[in-house]
Amino acid sequence: MKERRSKKEPGKRGKPSRSFKKGGHDNRGARQAGSRADSKRAPSSTRPSSMAPSSPSGSSPDKEKIRLNKYIAHAGICSRRDADTYISEGKVRVNGAVCTELGKQISPDDRVTVEGQKIEPEPFVYIVMNKPRDTITTTSDEKGRRTVMDLVEDATGMRLYPVGRLDRNTTGIIILTNDGDLANRLMHPSYKVPKVYEVETNRELTDDELSMLRTGVELDDGPAKAFRVSRHPEYINVVTLRMHEGRNRMVRRMIESLGAEVLSLDRVGYGPIQKKGVRTGRWRNLKKKEINELRKMVRLLPLEHLERS
C-alpha cells in the first residue's frame, strides 16, 4: 500500500491514502450492501401534486392535466426532451392508442406505455452515496460486478439512476435519483456544475505542472483543464482539482499527461454537496435545501413549485 508523504517531513512516510484506508470490501458499510443508510429513516421523496391522485369530484379537470413528456419524465424513464423523442417516434401509447402529438395533455387516470412498458409517476428520490472502490457506476453489470445500485436498491425500493459515472476504482460522492430532468441537466457540460476531486499522485507535482492543469493539457479527445487547482495543506503528493467537465477518465488522463501516476482519486464535492459525514459505502438522503441548490444551478424551479403545480 502506498502512503501519502507529509509535507512537513518530506523523508517520512505519512498517513495511508484515505481511499485505501476506508474503501472497498474492508469497509463495514460496504459489506452491509447498503441495506442500511446513515439515517434509519426511509428515503425522503417529493411527489409533485401534478402526479397526485385525482382531486375530489367537482374540481376542474383542467387542473389535473399534465403534459405527456412531463409525465414520462416523472416516471423516471428519461428527461422531458428524450420523452419528446419517444413520442415523435411513435413509441408512446395513451390508453392503447399511439400518440405522436408533442405537448399532449393527459389525465392522471390515463394509461401510458413507453415501448410497451406501462409507466406510472414515482415520488422523486434524491440520494448521495460515498462510492467505495471496486464498484461500478451503472444500474447493472453483465459480468456480475458490484454496482452502486447493489448498495441502495434493496433499501430504497425505488428505481434510481446514477448521475454521471465514476471509474471503478474512483471513490467519492455520486448522486442517484429518479428525477430525469435534474439528472440530465447536472450531466450537461453547459451548466458547468463543479466537481471537486482529491488526487494522490506517485510524486509531488511541480508548480509548472499545476499551472498546466489550470491552463489546459491536450488529451486525445481535446484540451482539458481544471478551473481551480490547489495543493493539499498536509500532503505534498496530493492536489485538489475543481472541474466543470466530466469526460471519461478525464482527471486521471490529465495527471498521466504530466508523466505522473494516480494512486487514488476521490470526489469530495459535487456542486453544493460534500462528502463529509457520509462513510464509504453508505448513503444519505439529500436535504430539501441541497436539492433546491442543485436545481438552481441548472436553472430548474425549486421543489416548492413542483408541489404547487
Verify that 214 and 267 share a domain, yes or no: yes
220 is catalytic: no
Instruction: Give which of 272, 262, 214 is closest to 238, Cα–Cα.
Output: 262
Q: Looking at the structure, tell me whether residues 76 and 159 fall in a common domain.
A: no
Q: Has residue 12 got a pLDDT over 50? A: no
The yes-or-no verdict on residue 47 having pLDDT over 70 is no
Q: Are residues 288 and 155 in the same domain?
A: yes
Q: CB under 8 Å to 103, separation ≥6 — which residues?
A: 67, 68
Strand, helix or coil for residue 305: helix
Per-residue model confidence as pLDDT tens digits over 174-211: 999 988 889 989 999 999 999 999 999 999 999 999 99
Q: Mean pLDDT over residues 92-115, rounded?
A: 93
**For residue 213, what are the domain limits?**
15-43+124-297
User: Would residue 188 count as lying in a domain?
Assistant: yes
Same domain flag for 287 and 203: yes
Name residues whose C-beta falls within 8 Å of residue 247's C-beta, 6 or more positions apart in sequence: 219, 221, 224
- Is 150 a member of any domain? yes
Q: Write the DSSP assignment of 178-230 as a string of letters.
A: S-HHHHHHHH-GGG---EEEEEEESSPPPHHHHHHHHH-EEETTEEE--SEEE
The per-residue pLDDT for 309 is 54
- Percent pLDDT > 90 in the chain is 60
The reply to whether 6 falls in a domain is: no
Q: What pLDDT does 43 receive?
A: 52
DSSP one-letter string for 23-91:
-GGGSHHHHTTTSS-SS-SPPPEE--GGGSPPPPTTS-GGGG-EEHHHHHHHTTSS-HHHHHHHHHTT-
**C-alpha cell read off for 24:** 472497498
Rounded Cα distance between 68 and 107, Å, is 9
Q: Which of 101, 122, 143 is the last residue before a domain boundary?
A: 122
Query: What average pLDDT does the structure give for the chain?
Result: 82
Q: Of 100, 122, 144, which one is at a domain's C-terminal end?
A: 122
Query: Are 142 and 21 found together in one domain?
Result: yes
Question: Residue 280's pLDDT is what?
Answer: 95
Q: Above 70 in pLDDT, residue 82?
A: yes
Indicate whether 4 pLDDT > 80.
Answer: no
pLDDT of res. 26: 37
Contact predicate 270/244, CB 8 Å: no
Which residue do the cell numbers 508523466 mark?
Answer: 259
Split into its structural domains, the chain has a count of 2
| Whether 192 and 95 share a structural domain | no
Instruction: Map grid coordinates 440530465 to a residue.
Output: 184
117 and 93, same structural domain?
A: yes
Q: Are residues 96 and 240 in the same domain?
A: no
142 is a domain residue? yes
Selecting among 26, 167, 208, 221, the annotated active-site residue is 167
Dist CA 197 CA 246 (whole Å)? 11
Task: Compute the CA torsion angle 135, 140, 144, 145 (nearest 10 deg).
Answer: -10
In a domain, 307, yes or no: no
Q: Is residue 151 a contact partner of residue 138, using CB atoms and an 8 Å limit?
A: no
pLDDT value at residue 185? 93
Q: What is the mean pLDDT of residues 246-270?
A: 96
Contact criterion met (CB below 8 Å) for 188 and 155? no
Q: Is the same domain home to 250 and 185?
A: yes
**Which of 80, 95, 122 is the endpoint of a domain?**
122
The three-class DSSP label of residue 154 is helix
Report DSSP state, residue 244: S
Q: Is 99 within the bounds of a domain?
A: yes
Q: What pLDDT, on the 0 to 100 scale, is given for residue 76?
A: 73
* pLDDT at 158 (0 to 100): 76
Domain CATH number, residue 93: 3.10.290.10
Instruction: Classify residue 206: in a domain, yes or no.
Output: yes
Same domain, 236 and 144: yes
Integer CA distances (angstroms), 82 to 68, 88, 139, 200, in order: 12, 10, 19, 38
Q: What is the pLDDT of residue 202?
A: 98
Domain identity same for 199 and 268 = yes
Look at residue 146 and give its three-state secondary structure. coil
Q: What is the CATH number of the domain that holds 206?
A: 3.30.2350.10
Residue 32: pLDDT over 50: no
184 or 170, greater pLDDT: 170
Question: Is the domain of 166 the same as that of 254?
Answer: yes
Does residue 155 form part of some domain?
yes
Distance CA 249, CA 294 (A): 24
Structure confidence at residue 87 as a pLDDT band (50, 70, 90) = very high
Mean pLDDT of 269-285: 96
